[in-house]
């Protein structure tokens, strides 16, 4: 999955982690409902909600569709550096995306192909 480089605050990451049954912080009623709504929505509706609520939308989409999404959210929630956005190339740190399943940006993936 590819995502925008929306910065996810640590508190938002903790709310989404809690929603998915990981160590985190329970969200208040409104934000808990928002997380549930994004989680239950089809992918097209979830992306539209992520446009309106970029931090929660990106965090839920990471948790739900990115193979390493929970790990990224755990790093954000614990304050560990994750680059300037929620995702970055595992080789060069570029956050522009899109990324391969191995966590490489297109430039680094193309270098591997040569």
pLDDT range class, residue 4, cuts 50, 70, 90: very low
Asked if residue 102 lies in contact with residue 111, where contact means CB atoms within 8 angstroms, the answer is no
Residue 24 or residue 97, greater confidence = 24
pLDDT digits 0-9 by tens, 59-83 = 999 999 988 899 999 988 988 755 5
Predicted local confidence at residue 32, as pLDDT: 97
pLDDT digits 0-9 by tens, 101-113 = 667 777 787 777 7
In the chain, the largest separation of any two C-alpha atoms, in whole Å, equals 51
Using DSSP's 3-state secondary structure scheme, residue 32 falls into: helix
Q: Which two tokens stand for residue 72?
A: 């990224």
Where in the chain are the domains? 10-83
DSSP conformational letter for 23 = S
Q: Give the residues across from 99 on adjacent strands.
A: 105
């Amino acid at each position: 999955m590819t995502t925008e480089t929306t910065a996810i605050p640590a508190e938002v990451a903790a709310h989404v982690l809690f929603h998915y049954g990981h160590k985190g912080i329970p969200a208040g009623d409104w934000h808990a409902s928002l997380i549930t709504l994004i989680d239950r929505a089809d992918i097209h509706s979830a992306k539209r909600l992520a446009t309106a609520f970029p931090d929660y939308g990106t965090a839920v989409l990471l948790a739900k569709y990115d193979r390493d999404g929970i790990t990224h959210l755990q790093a954000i929630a614990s304050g560990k550096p994750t680059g300037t956005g929620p995702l970055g190339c595992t080789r060069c740190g570029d956050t522009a995306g899109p990324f391969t399943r191995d966590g490489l940006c297109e430039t680094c993936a193309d270098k591997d192909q040569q």
